[in-house]
Amino acid sequence: MKFSRPVDGGPCWVELSTPDVAGAEAFYSALFGWRTETDPRPEAGGYTVAHLGDAPVAALTPPYQPGQPPAWTVSFLTRDTDATVAAAARAGGSLLAGPLDVFDQGRFAVLADPCGAVFSLWQARAFGGARLLNEPGALGWVELTTRDRAGALDFYPAVFGWTVTPSGHYPQWGIDGQDFGGLMAMDDKYPPEVPSHWLPYFAVRDADRAAADASAAGGRTLMPPTPVGDRRRIAVLRDPQGATFGVHGPGDGA
Burial of 169-191, coded b for 16+ CB within 10 Å and e otherwise, reads eebbbbbeeebbbbbebbeeeee
| Residues with pLDDT less than 50, the chain | none
- The answer regarding whether domain 11-124 maps to CATH 3.10.180.10 reads yes
Residue 192: the pLDDT is: 86
d(CA 250, CA 254) in angstroms, rounded, equals: 6
pTM for this one?
A: 0.95
164 half-sphere exposure, CB direction, 13 A CA radius? 19
Ranges in the chain annotated CATH 3.10.180.10: 11-124, 139-250
Question: What's the pLDDT at 36?
Answer: 96
| Domain 139-250 class in CATH | alpha beta
Distance CA 165, CA 179 (A): 8
Q: At 153, which amino acid appears?
A: L
Query: What beta strand segments (E) does the chain contain?
Result: 11-17, 35-38, 48-52, 55-61, 71-77, 94-102, 106-112, 118-124, 139-146, 163-165, 172-175, 178-185, 197-203, 220-228, 232-238, 244-250
Could you tell me whether strands 11-17 and 55-61 are parallel, antiparallel, or unpaired per DSSP bridges? parallel
Q: Quick one: pLDDT at residue 251?
A: 74
The per-residue pLDDT for range 111-151, each reduced to its tens digit, is: 999 999 999 999 999 999 999 999 999 999 999 999 999 99
pLDDT at site 75 = 98
pLDDT of residue 194: 87
What distance in Å separates the CA atoms of residue 11 and residue 202, rounded to the nearest whole number? 12
Say what the pLDDT of residue 180 is.
96
The pLDDT score that the predictor gives to residue 252 is 65
pLDDT number for residue 229: 73
Residue 241 falls in which region: left (phi positive, over 0), alpha (psi -120 to 50) or beta: alpha
